[in-house]
Structure formats: C-alpha cells, structure tokens
Amino acid sequence: MASDTEKIRLVFKEIQQISREFKSRYPVFVHQDAIGMGIFLFSVMMILLGFAGYLNYGVHAGWVILWIAFWTSLLHELEHDLIHYLYFKKIPFLHNFMMLGVWVFRPLTVNPWFRRYLHLHHHKYSGLPSDLEERGVTNGEKFGLLRLFILPDLILSFVFRAFKLYPEIRKMEKEGRFTKEEVKNLYRVGLLGFLPFGIPLHLMWYSFALLSLLSGINQFYGNILPQPEWTQEYLSAITPIIVLLVAPNLLRQFSLHFITSNIHYYGDVEKGNIFQQTQILNTWWAIPFHLFCFNFGVTHAIHHFFVQETFYIRQLTAAKAVAVLVKYGVRTNDTGTFSRANRYHISG
C-alpha cells in the first residue's frame, strides 16, 4: 500500500494532468491574467448594479444583500488567488490594484497584504496550533452558540479568544514554532489588519444592531426604554451602508467561515500530511452556504494538493479532480467533525 507521501505526489500529478488537458482543450484559459481581471471587473459591475438597484430603484434590501453576497464571494476567490500571486505577478501595479479592489468591496476582512502572511503560513502548518488563519475563523473550537455567534465576525472572534491565543503565541515563540519576525507580523495583523475599513464598519454595525433592537422594543412595548432623539436619523443615515457593505459581507463570511472551519481539520494533524488537512463537503444541506462562498467546501481540498491553480479552473474541473481525491482516500462529508471540534481522528 502506498504511503501518504506517495499518494500526495500521485494526487498532485493527476490533478495537474486534468488541468493541462482542460487548458489544452480550451486554449482561452491560458490567458490567466486577463480572465482574472475580467472576473474582477464583472463582479464589481454586478455589485455596483446592486448598489444602484437599492439606492435608485427601490429594490428590496433583502434581495440586494443576497445579490452582493454572491458577487463578493467571487472577489474572495480572486483574493485567494492573488495571495498566491496567480494574477499579474510581473505587473505589480495591476496586481495591487486588484488586491485593493477585492478588499474595498469586502471591507470587513483583514488587509489582504497582511492576510498573505497568514495564508501562506496556513499551507505550511495547516491543522497545527500555529495555523492562526483557520483558528481565527473558529476551526478547532467546540461547536456551540458561542462559535456560531463569532463565526462571521473576525473582530469578535479575536476579542473573545485573545486571552487564550496570546499566551499560546508566546509559548510557540519560546518553543521555536514562531520566529520573532513572525510574531511581529501577527501583532501587525491584530493591530492594523482591520484598518481603515473593518473597525469603523464593525462599530457602525454594532450600533445599528443595538439601536434597532432598542427601537423595536419601544415600538412593540410603547417606549418603555429611554431612546435618544437622534436615533432614527442616525439609523436612516447608516442603513444604506449596512445594506450595501456590512450585511452582505456578514452573510458571505458566515457561509465561508462555517464551511472552511469545518472542512479543515485541527489538533491531531500530522505536519505536511495533506490527506489529514481537509475534507470534501458536498452534501445537499451545504448548498445554501456554498452559494455565498462559491462552492468552497467542494473545491478547497483540491487547492491544498495543487496550490498553483486558479479558482475558476478548480470549479470547471471539480468533478474529475474530486473523483481523484476520493480515489486516494480524502474524506467526504465527515459530519462527525462537528462533535470532535474538528479533530481528524475519529477515536482516541
């Protein structure tokens, strides 16, 4: 029986061959930079169309939130590719232009230049204690109301768990699992990663939620709580920002973080063993989440084996690539991960 190391090599070769055959059959896909920019510009146009529909044509907020959440899920996939330098690596201006664009329309996320460090570290140490990218979206936590509550909100996730993560980071630095430069990068992410967009918009969201709750209680029970006179004017002023920027990204992030935190394993993973890092989640009940994270749970395991592939090729070749993963033993629909706090091993 082949070792996991040998199987990893075979999976890589077979998926790479699937990609080559697809591009040979459809030569247009060799124009990787142009396709990436085209998807970026089209997605932004669709998002701006949603803005116009809400602001100028009275489209219901609920439909607009769903619409924008879908198109920003493509921007997340583009950011993921950009982090791996898959577009305009030799043209820094256009590369950074796209990096800025995917951030501006997903403003609750970490600065993508900072996230690059976290994500590349994730690939080296996936499922290990120093994989702070996945741990930041609740991977490895016991499943319950707290995990669901902080799932879409990276800042709340940090606030609720900083007291736990900080001593762990210091301990890992002493043990040599983080260098001083890496710890410095982590602090930079924590202190500056959500500026200038994330922190102000989160504060706006918290105030919107609290004041809306206060107004609702007073409306229902007859002004039983003191309410500042400026409340309604403030809520009216910020509602468009909530509808167009905050709510779609909270929905998108909840879907993405729910999927990614449960397709990745944590805690008892063998370093470098890609078979123990992820699973394939293609069960029917995951479809609503996949609508707002662009089928992430089905295709992300492919990415771990074959990193230098664009997201749209992964989607277009997913059926064949997933068949390869399953043939060699990658898990599918391991729902037991919810009760095991994402541990890989089922017993012990």
* pLDDT tens-digit readout, 4-57: 999 999 999 999 999 999 999 999 999 999 999 999 999 999 999 999 999 999
8-state DSSP, 264: B
Looking at residue 59, its pLDDT comes to 98
* Number of alpha helices (DSSP H) and beta strands (DSSP E) in the chain: 16, 0
Neighbours of 19 (CB within 10 A): 22
Of the CA atoms within 13 Å of residue 207, those in its CB half-sphere come to: 17
Neighbours of 344 (CB within 10 A): 22
What's the angle, vertex CA 221, arms to CA 218 and CA 227, rounded to 5? 20
323 assigned to some structural domain? yes
Return the higher-pLDDT residue of 304 and 189. Answer: 304
* CA 71 – CA 26 distance, rounded (Å): 25
Kindly state the percentage of the chain with pLDDT values over 90. 81
346 assigned to some structural domain? yes
The CB-based long-range contact list for 229-235 (8 Å cut-off, 24+ gap) reads 234/207, 235/208, 235/211
Domain count, the chain: 1
Looking at residue 162, its pLDDT comes to 79
| 90-120 residue pLDDT tens | 999 999 999 999 999 999 999 999 999 999 9
158 assigned to some structural domain? no
* CA 55 – CA 57 distance, rounded (Å): 6
Burial letters 242-260, b for 16+ CB under 10 A, else e: bbbbbbbbbbbbbbbbbbb
Tokens of 281: 């989640």
- Which residues, in sequence order, are bridge partners of residue 278? 264
Neighbours of 85 (CB within 10 A): 12
6 assigned to some structural domain? yes
7 assigned to some structural domain? yes
92 assigned to some structural domain? no
Q: Which of 95, 32, 50, 58 is nearest to 252 (CA)?
A: 50
Is it the case that residue 348 has pLDDT exceeding 70? no
Looking at residue 334, its pLDDT comes to 97
Residues 6+ apart with CB under 8 A from 174: none
CA 163 vs CA 92, 141, 158: distances in Å: 38, 14, 9
3-state secondary structure of 223: coil
Looking at residue 222, its pLDDT comes to 78
Q: Residue 1 — pLDDT band, cuts 50, 70, 90?
A: low
Looking at residue 189, its pLDDT comes to 87
Return the higher-pLDDT residue of 209 and 223. Answer: 209
Q: Which of 261, 154, 276, 130 is nearest to 205 (CA)?
A: 154
pTM: 0.95
* CA 197 – CA 50 distance, rounded (Å): 20
- Which residues, in sequence order, are bridge partners of residue 264? 278
Is it the case that residue 83 has pLDDT exceeding 80? yes
Q: Residue 217 — pLDDT band, cuts 50, 70, 90?
A: confident
Contact 102, 112 (CB under 8 A): yes
Return the higher-pLDDT residue of 249 and 180. Answer: 249
330 assigned to some structural domain? yes
For the segment 217-225, the average pLDDT, to the nearest whole number, is 80
Radius of gyration from C-alpha coordinates of the chain: 21
Q: Residue 183 — pLDDT band, cuts 50, 70, 90?
A: confident
Domain of 324, in residue numbers: 1-28+264-348
* CA 153 – CA 332 distance, rounded (Å): 27
Is it the case that residue 274 has pLDDT exceeding 70? yes
Is it the case that residue 347 has pLDDT exceeding 80? no
| Mean pLDDT score across all residues of the chain | 94
How many residues are there in the chain? 348
Residue that the structure tokens 């994270």 belong to: 293
115 assigned to some structural domain? no
Tokens of 275: 């078979």
Return the higher-pLDDT residue of 348 and 306. Answer: 306
